[in-house]
């Protein structure tokens, strides 16, 4: 990363990363790898949070940013973490995308969230 400066709310961005990292750890109950990648361009900062967990099923990918949607057992999740992440990224005029694989026959399982934030 050449220039790590971007106009963001530090507390909100910490909340984004904590939510994504917590979900990643929960997706790897038997252990795995959590990766954080930062990259930049003159106009934007990119953050990728990846895990080697069980992945998110294709039918759930389109629902993950919907408030109160959760795949966690009762009492383990509210379904508000990822909608909050989405809202914070949008308030920063950024973008968030996700790709995931649940099928070992198609390669390594896991999920990657990509965040792109404008510098100003």
- Predicted confidence at residue 5, as pLDDT, reads 73
Q: Rounded mean pLDDT of the chain? A: 90
**Would 7 be classed as within a structural domain?**
no
| Domain residue limits at 71 | 19-118
Residue 14 lies in a domain: no
Tell me if 10 is assigned to some domain.
no
Residue 80: per-residue pLDDT: 78
Q: What is the DSSP string of 10-71?
A: HHHHHHHHHHHHHHHHHT-TT---EEEEEEE-SSEEEEEEEE-SS---HHHHTTTTSTT---
Q: Is residue 11 part of a domain?
A: no
- What average pLDDT does this structure show over 25-49? 94
pLDDT at 4: 65
Predicted confidence at residue 12, as pLDDT, reads 96
pLDDT band at 102 (very low <50, low <70, confident <90, very high): very high
Distance CA 119, CA 34 (A): 26
**Residue 2, in any domain of the structure:** no
DSSP 73: P
CA distance 27 to 23: 6
The answer as to whether 49 is a domain residue is: yes
Are 100 and 56 a contacting pair, CB within 8 Å?
A: yes
Q: How many domains does the chain have?
A: 1
pLDDT confidence band for 3 (50 / 70 / 90): low
Residue 6 pLDDT class (50, 70, 90 cuts): confident
Residue 13 in any domain: the answer is: no
CATH code of residue 43:
3.30.565.10
Quick check: is 3 in a domain?
no
Model pLDDT, residue 68: 80
Residue 103 φ/ψ, nearest 5 degrees = -110, 105
């Amino acid at each position: 990363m050449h220039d790590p400066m971007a106009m963001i709310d530090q507390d909100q961005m910490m909340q984004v990363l904590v939510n994504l990292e917590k979900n990643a750890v929960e997706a790897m109950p038997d252990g795995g790898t959590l990766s954080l990648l930062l990259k930049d361009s003159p106009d934007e900062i990119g953050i990728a949070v990846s895990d080697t967990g069980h992945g998110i099923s294709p039918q759930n990918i389109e629902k993950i940013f919907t408030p109160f949607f959760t795949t966690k057992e009762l009492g383990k999740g509210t379904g508000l973490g990822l909608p909050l992440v989405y809202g914070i990224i949008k308030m920063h005029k950024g973008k968030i995308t996700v790709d995931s694989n649940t099928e070992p026959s198609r390669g390594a399982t896991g999920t990657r969230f990509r965040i792109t934030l404008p510098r100003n």
